[in-house]
Chain A
């Protein structure tokens, strides 16, 4: 094997040799590339050497003497990994900076080589003074790179960088010297920790050394200088700083932690946590791209510092977690900096220029999702393991800080992604893709996926279904140029194949959801045929969402469940943001989902305590804090269910989505929340939190959601928002059913969930067709469409009859079951409000159908054609199913009853054919339908006989007090349809909750604005920060702890 010292020798040799090359820049650049490639090869060879078997790191002696008399380098498994990372970043960074290197000439190349050299030695050296020297070299090199590649702002930033790192290195030198003065040796292995710590000066020296390493990693209050460099420097250099030098710094900190005792570990983790939370909080106020990336990278490094600080608690997991998060930071941050270099838009909003550019958005999406920790990237598994370990060690405060910090990170990253996908106030210009900048970014993106897969394997995540789905999504992404009907058939075919493949693998409650997700998916996908052209990017996202949904069902362990949950959120986020004006709604959707996901994650964490395995059945016997875990997870699932208080994302997200995405998101996606709650309630059962029964509180939440949802829906002017609010109402109803924990309660709620899927997709498809034809969502602009769109009218009519629960159709079944269930368990007041809400649903049902289909047809809509054929096909499939269920109610309710028997044995329904006999009453669906139809036909015949030749008249033949109606718009009563109702009960729907959430976000922004004012751009204040930070930490460490 080649001796690792050659990394140093090649770098130094080439650096000096460049001097003699004279004017031939191109040749010089070629040599630099080869040198970097060789260094990379050496570290790669050593990595393969240490990979499987050898564990003992080898020592490299310099100057012929053995330590402690000479400097020795060490190359073990850890060192080989880190040198490999540094060298890859160096090589790819050099390729990225090719033009700058050529332009700036040889000396920039030399400085670049010196930088990579410095980082390599920092990782390998075992000598303290040598470490100081090469840290100093590395910071000088970075400052050199900045000055050699000037633009207006980078020079002052470079200056601040130099004076700051100069001060920090001097502190390190002071510490090192005094360690020598007391310990007698400078070699890290020989500095025995016991002797030094208890000599008066020794502990100060150790403190100085460790603290300067921490300062080098830019801790929160004292990192103004770093942020200015990130903002000022060329993105290529920024990438190097954030990826390579931060990685080296973290390794050095981990290497030197052997000196510190317990207080040092605690201090490090606290500093790291504060940095992570603080910098992410300030991040939400940023609007400059590079500065934002600066904040984010400082935050990530803070997180890794915390993990290193927690070494005594995490034990052997630290390596896995630290590496996972470091790798995702390394890949994503370098990638985003390079992307920023390619797009070079300073303001976040200017990134709107690349909206619609598939490749850029794919790269950006990958890097952002890697950073935030979405599946399938390594940070997802890292964060999962971190949360599990923290929960196990009862570090709940630290867990909360980390989750809140990553939530803030999600805020500004998704807002930025939203701008890039959707901001249309900036005209579109796609920057020309330069090959040398493009290749490194793509490599890092591919690495992100590969490492994600590797870390998945490591953390024991083996879900064959998800891998198949991932392959199918990749396949669809590659074949995105195919026309729509091919891809649509492919998607439906895959779903159908999956359905038949494991029709019998699911039994019990999951089979109901299995039918809703798969059959529902197929039906709503049928509407996809209406779209022409290629509809780029739609089908991979749809498949991702459905993969996530079905993954929920297939999940055996909590990790698989959470993986699928996040996948579903990612897929649905991208689907929603495709809508025209859906940017801020998609943002609020993803933020609520991420918040909810973190609650579920912490809930799983708490539930895991004391367990080794990660099976879903772990929820059955939770040892510690079961009620808290239960409440956290319940709230988490309820964010997806949009219960009251957590609902403000739903109307915007569902209304602004595309015509066939709304039914998918509204009818199918919300059921994931129900599935979660079903699983939660079944496994953990009723819980008592601070003495109050959580389920009782949830029943009130469900009922109030139903009331609020239906009440809001009645006052909406926009048809799709009306349907969105009605979804909130019906799901509140279903939640109320679930909280009853009785056979009938669950039967009612599950039947409502199934019927809700059907009538909601029916209505959303119908209204989608209407909106597609009339190009407007506002109901008062439509009117009298019954003559042009009779089929849509019939489907909306049947939809509203089912929502309102009118007897002949199946909606009434849900209401009847609910009535009996309430009788059984005695929650009468909730029942009163629930039925009041049920009746209010009647208001918005009529408003929907009257303002759109009846009343006066408007001039513009006179010759509007019927909804596209393929929108009607799924509608009429659903209508036939609804009618069949109305005629034969037991075809659905009996099987569900059987499934529920093994969870709630007593209180089942007794079925005689179609007559259901419950504890309090009975109901014969078939007979009611038969009777009503017979009477209907009899009365119709009677009216037809006495009213045969009626004269057909047009719209203005009305008795208008002997006057002639002015215009159609003035004679169509649609705007503010329930004005008196609003006058009487309007106070109920005052936007209290939206104001609350606005106040929360404004408060966060205000705090961020106040804190970030400490970075006032003046170099000297940054120096004062560093010194202040040192003094305060010293005082706290000695006095405080």
Chain B
């Protein structure tokens, strides 16, 4: 039970909880904007999980500047790769959410309704 209480595990757990909440939002919410919010929640949850992976006990952010010198960087900084990945993932998440909102705007202007069930003329 003890080995589960580490900070890293708690962070990853919250990340997964956020993912599940986001998923739940996307699946059940009829309102389009709530759906987009659900998606962004899902996305942030995912980012938290990625970041939580990079945790190294009492290490600092992987920015090489005056505080952390190149030579002893390997021992003092957290794992840099997930940090880099999370940056791109956040940017992509932003892009996708922006596109979704653009679609929601255009669909609202079309049919004046935010309910997803009213956009089912393309089917079978």
Direct contact of A and B (CB under 8 A): yes
Residues of A within 8 Å of B92, CB to CB, are: 133, 136-137, 169
Contacts A140-B99, A180-B82, A1027-B23: A159 and B49 contacting too (C-beta < 8 A)? no
A181 to B46 Cα, complex, angstroms: 14
Q: Which residue of B35, B46, B99, B121 is within 8 Å of A174 (Cβ)?
A: B46
Residues of A within 8 Å of B99, CB to CB, are: 140, 143-144, 147, 162
Decide: A167 and B103 in contact? CB cutoff 8 A: no
Judged by a CB distance under 8 angstroms, whether A439 is at the interface is: no
Decide: A159 and B119 in contact? CB cutoff 8 A: yes
Contacts A136-B96, A180-B81: A156 and B119 contacting too (C-beta < 8 A)? yes
Q: Which residue of B49, B53, B89, B96 is within 8 Å of A166 (Cβ)?
A: B96
Decide: A177 and B50 in contact? CB cutoff 8 A: yes
Q: Which residue of A158, A170, A232, A1027 is within 8 Å of B46 (Cβ)?
A: A170
Decide: A177 and B85 in contact? CB cutoff 8 A: yes
Instruction: Classify the interface of chain A: helix, strand, loop or mixed.
Output: helix
Q: Within residues 47 to 89 of chain B, which ones have a CB less than 8 A from any CB in chain A?
A: 49-50, 53, 81-82, 85, 88-89
Q: Within residues 93 to 114 of chain B, which ones have a CB less than 8 A from any CB in chain A?
A: 95-96, 99-100, 102-104, 106-107, 110
Decide: A1019 and B124 in contact? CB cutoff 8 A: no
Residues of A within 8 Å of B46, CB to CB, are: 170, 173-174, 177
In this complex, the interface size class of chain A, counting residues with CB under 8 Å from chain B, is 35 or more
Contacts A163-B35, A1012-B124: A1019 and B119 contacting too (C-beta < 8 A)? yes
Task: Determine how close the nearest CB of chain A comes to the CB of B44; give it in whole angstroms.
Answer: 11
Q: Within residues 1 to 54 of chain B, which ones have a CB less than 8 A from any CB in chain A?
A: 19, 23, 26-28, 30, 32, 35, 39, 42-43, 46, 49-50, 53
Q: Which residue of B26, B96, B107, B116 is within 8 Å of A155 (Cβ)?
A: B107
Decide: A1018 and B117 in contact? CB cutoff 8 A: yes
Judged by a CB distance under 8 angstroms, whether A532 is at the interface is: no
Contacts A147-B102, A156-B119, A180-B82: A1020 and B35 contacting too (C-beta < 8 A)? yes
Judged by a CB distance under 8 angstroms, whether A499 is at the interface is: no
Interface string of A1005-1026 (1 = CB under 8 A from B): 0000000110111111001100
Q: Within residues 664 to 708 of chain A, which ones have a CB less than 8 A from any CB in chain B?
A: none
Residues of A within 8 Å of B49, CB to CB, are: 174, 177
B123 (CB) vs chain A CBs: closest residue: A1017
Task: Determine how close the nearest CB of chain A comes to the CB of B24; give it in whole angstroms.
Answer: 11
Decide: A147 and B103 in contact? CB cutoff 8 A: yes
B23 (CB) vs chain A CBs: closest residue: A1027
Contacts A133-B88, A147-B103: A1023 and B121 contacting too (C-beta < 8 A)? no
Contacts A133-B92, A166-B96, A177-B53: A158 and B103 contacting too (C-beta < 8 A)? yes
B89 (CB) vs chain A CBs: closest residue: A173
Judged by a CB distance under 8 angstroms, whether A549 is at the interface is: no
Judged by a CB distance under 8 angstroms, whether A819 is at the interface is: no
B109 (CB) vs chain A CBs: closest residue: A155
Contacts A133-B92, A177-B82, A232-B122: A159 and B27 contacting too (C-beta < 8 A)? no
Decide: B27 and A1027 in contact? CB cutoff 8 A: yes
A181 (CB) vs chain B CBs: closest residue: B53
Contacts A133-B88, A173-B46: A157 and B122 contacting too (C-beta < 8 A)? yes
Task: Determine how close the nearest CB of chain B comes to the CB of A277; give it in whole angstroms.
Answer: 18
Q: Which residue of B26, B42, B123, B124 is within 8 Å of A1020 (Cβ)?
A: B26
A185 (CB) vs chain B CBs: closest residue: B81
Decide: B82 and A166 in contact? CB cutoff 8 A: no
Q: Within residues 121 to 172 of chain A, which ones have a CB less than 8 A from any CB in chain B?
A: 129, 133, 136-137, 140, 143-144, 147, 150, 152-153, 155-159, 162-163, 166-167, 169-170
Q: Which residue of A150, A1018, A1023 is within 8 Å of B106 (Cβ)?
A: A150
Task: Determine how close the nearest CB of chain B comes to the CB of A1034; give it in whole angstroms.
Answer: 15
Decide: B95 and A156 in contact? CB cutoff 8 A: no
Q: Which residue of A143, A158, A1024 is within 8 Å of B27 (Cβ)?
A: A1024
Judged by a CB distance under 8 angstroms, whether A186 is at the interface is: yes
Decide: B27 and A1020 in contact? CB cutoff 8 A: yes
A129 (CB) vs chain B CBs: closest residue: B85
A606 to B117 Cα, complex, angstroms: 51
Residues of B within 8 Å of A144, CB to CB, are: 99
Judged by a CB distance under 8 angstroms, whether A228 is at the interface is: yes
Decide: B39 and A155 in contact? CB cutoff 8 A: no
Residues of A within 8 Å of B89, CB to CB, are: 173
Judged by a CB distance under 8 angstroms, whether A231 is at the interface is: yes
Q: Within residues 171 to 216 of chain A, which ones have a CB less than 8 A from any CB in chain B?
A: 173-174, 177, 180-181, 186
Taking each of B30, B85, B103, which has the highest tally of chain A beta carbons within 10 Å of its own beta carbon? B103
A1027 to B88 Cα, complex, angstroms: 25
Decide: B124 and A162 in contact? CB cutoff 8 A: no
Decide: B100 and A166 in contact? CB cutoff 8 A: yes
Residues of A within 8 Å of B119, CB to CB, are: 156, 159, 1017-1019
Task: Determine how close the nearest CB of chain B comes to the CB of A9; give it in whole angstroms.
Answer: 19
B29 (CB) vs chain A CBs: closest residue: A1020
Interface string of A210-237 (1 = CB under 8 A from B): 0000000000000000001001100000
A159 to B123 Cα, complex, angstroms: 14
Decide: B107 and A162 in contact? CB cutoff 8 A: no
Decide: B116 and A1023 in contact? CB cutoff 8 A: no
Residues of B within 8 Å of A158, CB to CB, are: 103
Task: Determine how close the nearest CB of chain B comes to the CB of A647; give it in whole angstroms.
Answer: 35
A167 to B39 Cα, complex, angstroms: 8
Residues of A within 8 Å of B123, CB to CB, are: 228, 1015-1017
Taking each of B43, B50, B123, which has the highest tally of chain A beta carbons within 10 Å of its own beta carbon? B123
Residues of A within 8 Å of B50, CB to CB, are: 173, 177
Decide: A155 and B100 in contact? CB cutoff 8 A: no
Task: Determine how close the nearest CB of chain A comes to the CB of B5; give it in whole angstroms.
Answer: 19
Decide: A1017 and B104 in contact? CB cutoff 8 A: no
Residues of A within 8 Å of B42, CB to CB, are: 167, 170
Residues of B within 8 Å of A159, CB to CB, are: 32, 100, 103-104, 107, 119
A159 to B23 Cα, complex, angstroms: 17
A1012 to B89 Cα, complex, angstroms: 36
A144 to B106 Cα, complex, angstroms: 13
A152 to B110 Cα, complex, angstroms: 8
Decide: A231 and B43 in contact? CB cutoff 8 A: no
A231 (CB) vs chain B CBs: closest residue: B122
A171 (CB) vs chain B CBs: closest residue: B46
Given contacts A158-B103, A1016-B123, A1017-B122, could you give 8 more A-B pairs where the C-beta distance is less than 8 Å? A147-B102, A147-B103, A159-B107, A162-B103, A170-B42, A181-B53, A1015-B124, A1020-B28
Residues of A participating in the B interface, judged by any CB pair closer than 8 Å: 129, 133, 136-137, 140, 143-144, 147, 150, 152-153, 155-159, 162-163, 166-167, 169-170, 173-174, 177, 180-181, 186, 228, 231-232, 285, 1012-1013, 1015-1020, 1023-1024, 1027
Residues of B participating in the A interface, judged by any CB pair closer than 8 Å: 19, 23, 26-28, 30, 32, 35, 39, 42-43, 46, 49-50, 53, 81-82, 85, 88-89, 92, 95-96, 99-100, 102-104, 106-107, 110, 116-117, 119-124
Query: What 3 A-B pairs are tightest by C-beta distance, nearest first?
Result: A1017-B123, A1017-B120, A156-B119
A-B contact pairs, 20 of them (CB 8 A): A129-B85, A136-B96, A137-B92, A140-B95, A143-B99, A153-B122, A155-B106, A156-B107, A156-B119, A162-B99, A163-B26, A166-B39, A177-B46, A231-B122, A285-B124, A1012-B124, A1017-B122, A1018-B119, A1020-B27, A1020-B30
